[in-house]
Chain A
Amino acid sequence: NAGVTQTPKFRVLKTGQSMTLLCAQDMNHEYMYWYRQDPGMGLRLIHYSVGEGTTAKGEVPDGYNVSRLKKQNFLLGLESAAPSQTSVYFCASTIAGLGRTGEQFFGPGTRLTVL
């Protein structure tokens, strides 16, 4: 099992460029999440999905879009990148259901710099 993987690991963009971050999990988890981590801010939830074909906004959704066309993949898109989106992005997943542990499994992160 690869767990949660993220592509790419690093990326440098110019202001206004677009890109898509890919998250994949092979644990058959229903729930998936995108977070951003900034110095001194902890992890903040951008968007999440509770199942294939569903998405919802988190704490800091502005400037991002997501899609969950397949259960195992969760894509995060930046349509017009801004320097304020320079951050480390983490994807996570967890299994749903009453009594489940709720532990979120995290990917290794993507370091994005917007110039």
Chain B
Amino acid sequence: AQKVTQAQTEISVVEKEDVTLDCVYETRDTTYYLFWYKQPPSGELVFLIRRNSFDEQNEISGRYSWNFQKSTSSFNFTITASQVVDSAVYFCALSEVNSGGSNYKLTFGKGTLLTVNP
């Protein structure tokens, strides 16, 4: 069975601090995909990034960066110079790939509530 663990339930930082959200996953599949979603206080779920199991390159998008390490089964998310608008619940998710090669079932972690204080 697949499992995603986000050990940090809540994190509180002061604006402009850097913060890293941890995600550890378990799967027996060799092909899988990892995702991060953001859920701001308004409640909608916003897709941030997708990474497949064969691509271990780190990715940077503005103040956001992701570190994928298969050796430790981790897909951590760093926000540099955090802002109040980054306050949200962040979910890490793992996708199974079916026989047709499609991602089809997401397993979510329990989420990390990030609060950025002014």
Contact = CB atoms under 8 A, between A and B. Distances in A.
Nearest to B47: A103
A43 B100 contact: no
Interface of B: 9, 33, 35, 43-45, 47, 50, 91, 95, 98, 100-111
B103 A102 contact: yes
B100 A98 contact: yes
Contacts of B45: 90, 92, 106
Nearest to B52: A102
A109 B91 CA distance: 16
Contacts of B104: 31, 48, 50, 94, 96, 102
B30 to A, nearest CB: 16
A18 interface: no
A42 B44 contact: no
13 contacts: A33-B106, A42-B109, A44-B108, A48-B105, A50-B98, A97-B101, A98-B101, A98-B102, A99-B101, A102-B35, A104-B47, A106-B44, A108-B44
B101 A102 contact: no
A88 B43 CA distance: 10
Contacts of B111: 42
Contacts of A92: 45
Interface string A23-38: 0000000010101000
Contacts of B108: 35, 42-44
Interface string A51-89: 000000010000000000000000000000000000010
